[in-house]
Every structure is written in structure tokens, then in C-alpha cells.
Structure 1
Amino acid sequence: MSQLDLAKIEWPSPAKLNLFLYITGRLDNGYHELQTLFQFIDFGDTLTFAPNLTGDITLSPAIEGVSLEDNLIWKAVQILKTEALKQGNPQAQELGVDIQLKKVLPMGGGLGGGSSNAATALVALNTLWQLDFSIDTLATLGLTLGADVPVFVRGHAAFAEGVGEQLTPASPTEKWYLVIKPETNIATVDIFTHPDLTRNTAKRDLDTLLQQPYGNDCEKIVTLLYPEVAKQLSWLLQYAPSRLTGTGSCLFAEFDTQQEAEVVLEKFNDHTKLNSVFGFIAKGVNVSPLHKTLADYKQANHNSI
């Protein structure tokens, strides 16, 4: 496949939802033990990669307020090159790439956009640079960038325990979701350090959790501290089971059909009358769109040989 063809491939960087999130304990180092269920949605950013052997890495467009060195995509590329050097790859120093990011996910909403971007860079460049690292290796590298990166790297809905690093593949029902982001940015540290945060929810096995109504232990604190989130959640609950994802600020309502979700989105748009409030409909998917693209790329590349 030619360099031009490679540069035209759009690699998905999907969002995730925490279908439930329970805080089951607090460790001596301040980290929290949790049980959460990750599911991808068929909505997210996209990245294109034009590999080269100049050794240079470019990323555009720039994200306002985020330096290149702090961007998780750039960090992911650097740790991938570093690992290639450690493994004695003779071309590691010359590996370069021009990356284009099409950003649609809101920042700071609990949808995992930055982590997903990093995972897409790891998975795509591992293939395009022909490094052939295993998924386990890529997930280990991803964990150094953030606790949510490995689930995006592995590409399957998962039940997470520990501090989020213990992943078990799961297959929750693939529902339709209306996702909205209130005009609020939430500082995660404020939620996890709040004295009233529930930290002793009983641990349960996945089968038990799947049979019970889903909840989010962070929701009580977020709605207490952020009235706009409380307002929008109260509105959504009129129409469907609705929750916070992660520590927010995004909320999601679940539906059995796309049509049901679209009806409520129309009501929501009438309700807010604010174009700046971000809302969209997406399908829950247990296999990441990133891994579907990876499989398609490998198949096309195999057929072209």
C-alpha cells in the first residue's frame, strides 16, 4: 500500500462510557479502588498518519491550551519509538510521522478522548511502522500514559477493577445513547478528594452487577458541586435511565432504539435553546471501531500482496 494510501486512512478514536462506576475502597497512596464497566460508542475523533523515515513527528492542528509535549498523542508516539529503540529496531531513530487530528469530542467530559487518541496512535503506528508489538505490550505502554488507555488499546468492552488497570472483557447490551455535555468543566481531583464521596461500595462480581440497575458513585458529588450538571441530569431522567460517565461532566441516557433517542434529542434541543450545549446520539459497541479499522487495513494489505 502506498504512502498516499496510508495518509488517506482515517483511524477512529472512539469515545467510551462508564456504564457504571463504583468506588470500593481507598488505598494508602490516595488512589481509589473501583469497579466500572467500559463500553465504546461509535462516535469520536479521527486521526490520519503519514509515516516517513525523517525522524520528525508533527501533529496538527494544535489544541488550544495543550502544548505539543503535553499532548497524549505526541507522548504515545515517543514511547513507541523509545520501545522500538530498546528492542534494537535498526530504523527506530528514523521513524517519523505527520499526524492530522480531527477533534469532535469535548475535552474534560469523561468520554476518554485524550486516552483514546493515545491508544489510536499506539495501535495504528505499531502497524504502519511495522513494529509488530503485541497488544499486551501496547497496553502496558499505554498504562504509563493513563489508566484508561489500555482499554482503548485492547479494543473490547471491559469490566475494570483495582484502580482501573485490571480488565476483563465484557459484553453488555449495545444500546443507543443520547450523550450531552453541560457547559461545565469538572476537575476530577475535586471529586476524588471530596470528603463525602462514597468509598465503601461493596465489591460484586460482574454477573451480579449486570443484573442490577447501574449507578455512578461520583454522581452525588458532581451534582452537588455543579448545579448545571444536576439540572441537565434531572431533565434527562424524565425520559430514560440516565447517568454521569466517569467523573463527568458528560451525561448519557440509554434507549433501545435510535428513533427513541432522536425524539429526546429533539426535545433536548428545544429545552436548551443553546447551540453551545453539546449533544449527540451514538450506538454502544463492544468492539472498538479502531480495531475494526485495524482488521480492515490488515485484510486490504494482505490482499494487495
Structure 2
Amino acid sequence: MPRTLNNCPAPAKLNLFLHVTGRRADGYHLLQTVFQLVDFNDLLHFEVRDDDLIRRSTDIPGVPEQSDLVVRAARLLQTAIRAKSSVVAGSAYKPLGANIGIEKNLPMGGGLGGGSSDAATTLMALNHLWQGGLSREELMALGLQLGADVPFFLFGRNAFAEGIGESLQKLDTPRLWFVIIQPGVTIPTEIIFSSSELTRSTKPVKMTDFSIGTKKLFGKNDLEAVAVKQFPEVAEAIKWLGNYGDARMTGSGACVFCAFTEEHQADAALKSVPSQWKAWKAKAMQEHPLAGLL
């Protein structure tokens, strides 16, 4: 049994569009979106412990260890493996632990799904290392307890998503390059979703309606109109990046992106990004790098 898994990617996602179509009685918003995986990621490192302790070996400013989604995911997985083992084997299961190191590259509060992706990578890697035997579907059900975006990363493919983001259909997307800009602000998701100005009645679309181009992206991001009013830095980044194509915000922000059909086009745009912003180039992926673990 392997004792370590190092350099495990936790890739970013982009919302190629994001429509809010309603709101459930429990307050959760009903969405439609296309999730696009890109090769811009955090890296996680895992080492099995013989006791049942979960330890984060990396300090992340502003994120206490006990509330980190990575730590919570590991503990949730321990509980699930214990429950499944007792049913299958009929005997008490002694859970293993883990030391987890995180190299953070994805900005927090950027709409790139960094925390959710880290949690999904944790579930996949530790299920493998601990020989937990949980299926992809079982891990996705666990992931939903941690956040609405976590099941997508466990799904492992680009997807058309509905519901609160948990109803997923596989979707093949074109070979594209993206330039992603972090405008220098962090946007808490709850600020956007709780806004009285948020449109919650966009007409639902079908997956077959979706298409993607670089001059004009499909649909819109309903959250963007709220974000740009409260965070003018986002509006400024969208306006600047719009010189190269149809630029928009991903998720609830703050990162914005633009798609390119050729890498050299993305390189040219990236080279011109004003120095006050952090920016990255990322390539579209069809499959999660750890999909083979499941």
C-alpha cells in the first residue's frame, strides 16, 4: 500500500456562463452553468499516518486548520470509510490519518473553486491511500456536504450543471486557452448571493443550446452585474480584458477571464496585462488529472 502521494493537482474551474434560474425554499439558489477545467492548480501532498490524526503541514493565512475544507474533507472521509467498513466487514475499523501539505496558487475568493477543488483532491487521494473503496458517486455525495462545487471536481469531466451545481452532465468543450486576471479584491460568495439586486429568474436553457466562441461567449454570468457595482476593480478588469474578446467574471468573482483559440494570442494578452493585476494563462482540460484514481 502506498504511503504518500505528492504533487496532486487541484485544478481551477471557470464558469463559461452562470445563470440563476430560481431559489429553493431553503435559500439555496438554482443555477445553470458550464464548468470548464483548466490547467492552473494548487498542489497537495499526502502522507499516511498510522494514528487517526489529520494534520495540515502548511500554514494558510486567514484559514484556520480546523475550518479548512481539506481537513474537513479528510475527517468526513474517515467517518464514511468507518461506516462502510463496519457494514461490509462487520467489525470495527481503525481509521488511518494523514499529513497534508498544500501549495496554494489559486487565489481565495476568486471564483476559481480553489477550496472546493482542494477538498475534492483530498477525497480522491486519501480514498486511494487509505484503500477506502468508496465509489465516485459516494465521494460526490460526501463532497456535496462540503460545498456545491465539490461534486463537479469529483465528477472529473467538464460538465453542464444544474440544481445547486450537483446535477452534472458530461460536456466536451473546445481546445482553448484562457487569460485569467485577479483584479486585487476578494469577493465573499455570500455577499453576491444575498444581494437584493441579484437576478434570480433567468430563463432555463438546454445543454444542447450551449456553444462557445471567443468573440462572443454563450449566455452571461448573472452574478457579474452585482459584483461590478460593489467592486469597481472587477469592472475595470473586464473592460480591459474585453479588448481581446468577450471577457467575463467566473463564479461569484473576483477573477475574470477571456478565451483564445491559439496560445500565442493568449501570450500576447498576458504580456500586456497592467502590472497592478496578477494574471495567468491556462489551457482547457477535458478531464481531471486524478480521474484515474477512481
Aligned-pair CA distance for 1:40: 0.6
Counterpart position of 1:70:
67
What percentage of aligned pairs have identical amino acids? 41
Q: For residues 198-237 of structure 1, what are the alpha-carbon distances to aligned partners after superposition, in whole Å with 9 as ceiling and x for unaligned?
A: 1111111011132673321111111111111101100000
Counterpart position of 2:110:
109
Q: Which structure 1 residue ranges, 4+ long, deviate > 6 Å from structure 2?
A: none
Query: What is the alpha-carbon distance in structure 1 between the residues aligned to residue 96 and residue 196 of structure 2?
Result: 48
Query: What is the alpha-carbon distance in structure 1 between the residues aligned to residue 54 and residue 174 of structure 2?
Result: 40
Of 214, 219, 223, the match for 2:224 = 219
Q: Which moved more, 1:88-97 or 1:112-121?
A: 88-97
Query: What is the alpha-carbon distance in structure 2 between the residues aligned to residue 100 and residue 91 of structure 1?
Result: 29
User: Contact (CA 8 Å) 1:81, 1:93: kept in 2 or not?
Assistant: no
Q: For residues 171-205 of structure 1, what are the alpha-carbon distances to aligned partners after superposition, in whole Å with 9 as ceiling and x for unaligned?
A: 12131000011111112222112222111111110
Mind listing any 5+ residue stretches in structure 1 that lack a counterpart?
Answer: 296-305
Counterpart position of 1:60:
57
Q: For residues 52-105 of structure 1, what are the alpha-carbon distances to aligned partners after superposition, in whole Å with 9 as ceiling and x for unaligned?
A: 322222112121121111000100110111011112356743401111111111
Return the letter of the residue paired with 1:284.
A
Query: What is the alpha-carbon distance in structure 1 between the residues aligned to residue 118 and residue 151 of structure 2?
Result: 12
Mind listing any 5+ residue stretches in structure 2 that lack a counterpart?
Answer: none
Query: What is the alpha-carbon distance in structure 1 between the residues aligned to residue 2 and residue 158 of structure 2?
Result: 33
Return the letter of the residue paired with 1:132.
G
Return the letter of the residue paired with 1:145.
L
Counterpart position of 1:143:
144
Query: What is the alpha-carbon distance in structure 2 between the residues aligned to residue 34 and residue 238 of structure 1?
Result: 29
User: Contact (CA 8 Å) 1:23, 1:217: kept in 2 or not?
Assistant: yes
Return the letter of the residue paired with 2:165.
G
Give the alignment's Cα RMSD to 1 decimal: 1.7
Counterpart position of 1:29:
26
Counterpart position of 1:47:
44
- How many residues align? The count is 286
User: Contact (CA 8 Å) 2:32, 2:165: kept in 1 or not?
Assistant: yes
Counterpart position of 1:88:
85
TM-score, normalised with respect to structure 1: 0.89
Q: Secondary structure at the match of 1:194?
A: coil
